[in-house]
Structure 1
């Protein structure tokens, strides 16, 4: 070797030595950090090199960056590596500028070929995300290398995944925008999903500019399989395409605020469409469009779509592939439920459909025969309760329970609000003589809508899923399968709050949690007690005063039958027809009444008074409640002999005085 060659070799060796020495400053952090170590040793002294560090070592560009330049490096944890099955793109985790957590802008350019951006999300909770990965705040490190360059390392909980290209791709695809993504979809790794149909509709509607728009947006793209219905693709017009784009906002699923509506590009004077994300407990992510203001071509209502491939970064935002187009309402309620079987669509209600079919499928036929219908559909999680599992084999009972979830009307949230304007809305179901009771708490997007049926209070967790012949509302419990005691029901039901309060200060409620007894409780609803205030103002006032708890307890005892079984309204009607007055055992003596059925409603005849039954047969785990329109009460019930009112405290004072007088006489 010549002397010049020797000098060049020596210089190269020196450069390599310097490179490794400088790279070691940040690299040592990667190697020695206990959070990142893959060593199984318990001691920090026996740490093994981490997988990410080995990836950095093998990449000359990454090594050069650590040696010579400022940078921010996003390092996944060991657990993130263990979960991730794909190829690691080290340079996609590095950006050639140093940013602390506070300094991170909305996007930064990665060091990967084409410099595809990394998107930064800072949410309301103070969490910071890089694409779909969360920065673990306590593990960030900042230092200066030997060149005096500032470098920052952030630890993240996911491996960053750039747009993946197939091995045999013909085109050089480095950093495409959303339109280029659509055009080159066949060359990308998309889990065998195809996008030809939607792409052709975008071209036909001349909406390419929406997907080419610079900036940072969220694009929702339906896969080809979602267009199996032959006429569906023709419904994808320019407005529908706009409804699949959230402009100027990048939403990755892990960073998304659930049920936080964002205005879509289809939000204008005559058409208003919002889009939001939400996650099921099984981990599946969904997106929904809500057409708040519709027009002749675009009906109002919610459309749900499962995200089948999420978080695909592109030059101008992020793409999510969805299992069906948004905004398009082109299926009946029956077709919507059947779709749970086909290709696993709309998994959020898969269990509800399975229960219907396991019960013979007749319920689905009944739904098909209704021209207008609303379904209160329990979520998958709602069916996991042990009490429900015990009932699944009882086909007759399950048929009644399923029918309790079906309403012969097109009932959306606006209608529920109208019905609930002055009172709790009462709506009949297809189950004979069974009603549902809706209650709205709060206003606007913060409103919570509950529905009670058969003793169960459920909350609507997804409202107004629109179909051509009605609506589906997803609820969090199965109606008609009680899960609380008589006391629990009294405590939670807004219609029974006065009876609950009266029973609390008189300690009458103490017995109502006893699961060894079977109670039949005739509970006056709040409006019933309000009527007594007009009829017997003095008596009503005393009943709600703690000092008169003796009288309150005595009145409530009259309303509570205690036996080894419960008495349904049908039972009481049958007994009344056979024997006239029915005698029910109560705590002190008995309750005599008669029950008649009039035009599908029940009426109690007590002491020559007719009292309507507002809600019959509210089942509980230790009994049954019948909500009545008026208490079993007369004014004399709270009047002692001589027409004077005596409180318990007054009685105690009188007795104490008598004892003192007696003792004084004895002493004298």
Structure 2
């Protein structure tokens, strides 16, 4: 009897423990239920608003989760209501739990979850203090730590995204295991990764015997191209050992939300004779891309950037994270034309709108590009085409053709060549339009290099440089060139070539009028190098001009350069007016009038990298010939012609015992004569 009694007692005790573990009522002693029920907690109201009831129910309905929360120490990562609203598909509640309690400071890089097979959770701590678990950011102010009724320490972190583990398709007859990246590729056909297939790339990895790279223990980032990226039948053969290495970032697990944008990461293909980096970047519409940059190449692996869209990212595996990309990196096997055509079927592609604009304009520009041989394209981003002024332009087919041609350079021009051309000067590069040049400038902001390009009055920033093709490069820019969006004043203020003229205008408040959109200005603006020439020719005059105390002189000289009329005057207009008059023409300026002759002259633009025929303009003023460096810089309230020398003479600023304009000096002279006469009269009459 005693033995039977003990057996019954043990069964009853086990049954009681099981009931405790399974009962939702007992979960009120857990951290989640305590927060929901305890109105004294200062964060309770905020948490009740953020944490979805659905997640409570998932916790309560899951026997293992319920038992863990009731009986064990743990950390729970709880998605917000907003995260659940964005999430599609099942929620794996055990992937949000680990049985070690950890505050933000205690979180380690890799944490085993409570899900079957214990798939890993990866922690990223950024320099700015943000902490991520996989691709979800921990909301720092809402972390709660407490002890449950059994004395078990528990921590809850609120996160902004539902955690998604790697799972098999419902139709797959397999038990889920914690797969590494190589197993992931082998079993991809039965995994829940959408319509993506990896057979082409997987076969190359096997052929090149790179299995061990994808089986490497630790934490890495794997970029795997899908079959869609191998439509070009020869592309698979270009995926060799080094290309495969260039798709793996070793010892660094990078989820997209936690990734540092535009920060190069060294790949397994970074060695003495080949150096390849990979970086992440994000479009304004949220679309994520990776790009490889072959900094040092060889005969089989040319230098340049290759872009690839992430079609499915943030897939956790046992040894890191996988991002599926739409094409292989490092491989440069398409022309500029083929690259642009690749956006035809990609609705959200980085240059889809640029391609659409070309085709809506008849497609001739694409044909021209195909016939040009070596070429560089400045391609406006999708966002650049959304500007109101740009939308209005698209309807003007003839004008649009000129604008598109302004984005095409008949030469292979990468960043290294722009740097070389930009030494000591702003690089001037001709476009396929004979009269149109682009002006590249390289500057540093916050320690980072920034490349800008000016064309037709628009100053654009290069968002993505050196997208390499077999016959040239594509640079993605943030604005459409040739569609002005700034006033004359704003252009002066922001253009690095016009900073000295802007400075002179600030001295005397001359610039204030240039923001007036009710007036039409034609402004002949001496570039900075022009003022530097006057420093050599008239050193004293230059010195006085750039002293704020002598702003009267700078104002009077600038007034001579500013034409104010009902219409603006392009260079073609001025040439036609000169031809019609047979001599000089008079233009109404701020002060009185400007007498000039404007003519065309054929010339030859030559530097150590390229040589081009071109037609330029020359202004004759006061028997001096002045070259027009940049004609027809359009603004919203006028036009600027950048000239190579100011309309200035030494006598404009007299430097005898002081600096006064000619009229003022005459007044002083007459005053002195009058004073002498008065003194003489008084002397004689005494």
Q: 1:493 aligns with which of 489, 495, 513?
A: 495
Q: 1:544 aligns with which of 534, 538, 546?
A: 546
Contact 2:28 2:34 in 1 (8 A): no
Q: Distance in 2 between the 1:646 and 1:551 partners?
A: 8
Q: 1:235 aligns with which of 234, 238, 262?
A: 238
Q: What's the counterpart of residue 173 of structure 1?
A: 176
Q: What's the counterpart of residue 636 of structure 1?
A: 651
Shift of the alpha carbon at 1:7?
Answer: 8.5
Alignment of 1:508-657 (within 5 A): 508-579=510-581, 580-599=583-602, 600-639=615-654, 645-646=659-660
Shift of the alpha carbon at 1:124?
Answer: 1.6
Tell me the alpha carbon deviations over residues 383-415 of structure 1, each in whole angstroms, 9 at most, x when there is no partner. 111111111111111011100000000000000
- What secondary structure is seen at the aligned counterpart in 2 of 1:501? helix
Tell me how large the CA RMSD over aligned residues is: 2.4
Residue 431 (structure 2) pairs with residue 417 (structure 1): no
Segments of structure 1 that go 5 or more residues without pairing to the other structure are: 40-47, 662-668
Q: Distance in 2 between the 1:242 and 1:550 partners?
A: 66
- What secondary structure is seen at the aligned counterpart in 2 of 1:342? coil
Tell me the alpha carbon deviations over residues 422-458 of structure 1, each in whole angstroms, 9 at most, x when there is no partner. 2000000001210000001139982100000000000
Q: Distance in 1 between the 2:186 and 2:47 partners?
A: 39
Q: What's the counterpart of residue 451 of structure 2?
A: 449
Q: What's the counterpart of residue 28 of structure 1?
A: 33
Alignment of 1:244-393 (within 5 A): 244-344=247-347, 347-393=349-395
Report how many aligned residue pairs link the two structures: 645
Q: Distance in 2 between the 1:528 and 1:488 partners?
A: 20
Q: Distance in 2 between the 1:387 and 1:551 partners?
A: 38
Shift of the alpha carbon at 1:49?
Answer: 7.6
- C-alpha change, 1:228 and 1:389, in structure 2 (3 Å) is same
Q: Distance in 1 between the 2:489 and 2:168 partners?
A: 61
Normalised TM-score (structure 1): 0.93
- What secondary structure is seen at the aligned counterpart in 1 of 2:105? coil
Q: Distance in 1 between the 2:317 and 2:409 partners?
A: 45
Q: Distance in 1 between the 2:445 and 2:300 partners?
A: 29
Q: Distance in 1 between the 2:298 and 2:28 partners?
A: 62
- What secondary structure is seen at the aligned counterpart in 1 of 2:384? helix
Shift of the alpha carbon at 1:25?
Answer: 3.1
Contact 2:653 2:661 in 1 (8 A): no
Shift of the alpha carbon at 1:13?
Answer: 4.4
Alignment of 1:146-225 (within 5 A): 146-225=149-228
**Any runs of at least 4 consecutive aligned residues in structure 1 with deviations exceeding 4 A, and if so which?**
2-11, 17-20
Normalised TM-score (structure 2): 0.90
- C-alpha change, 1:21 and 1:647, in structure 2 (3 Å) is farther
Contact 1:581 1:592 in 2 (8 A): yes
Q: What's the counterpart of residue 66 of structure 1?
A: 69
Contact 1:98 1:151 in 2 (8 A): yes
Shift of the alpha carbon at 1:51?
Answer: 1.2
Contact 2:47 2:142 in 1 (8 A): no
Tell me the alpha carbon deviations over residues 322-345 of structure 1, each in whole angstroms, 9 at most, x when there is no partner. 00000000000000001111244x
Shift of the alpha carbon at 1:644?
Answer: 5.8
Shift of the alpha carbon at 1:9?
Answer: 5.2
Deviating more after overlay: 443-452 vs 493-502: 443-452
- C-alpha change, 1:443 and 1:621, in structure 2 (3 Å) is closer
Tell me the alpha carbon deviations over residues 575-622 of structure 1, each in whole angstroms, 9 at most, x when there is no partner. 111212111101121101111111101111111111111100000000
Tell me the alpha carbon deviations over residues 367-387 of structure 1, each in whole angstroms, 9 at most, x when there is no partner. 000110000000011111111
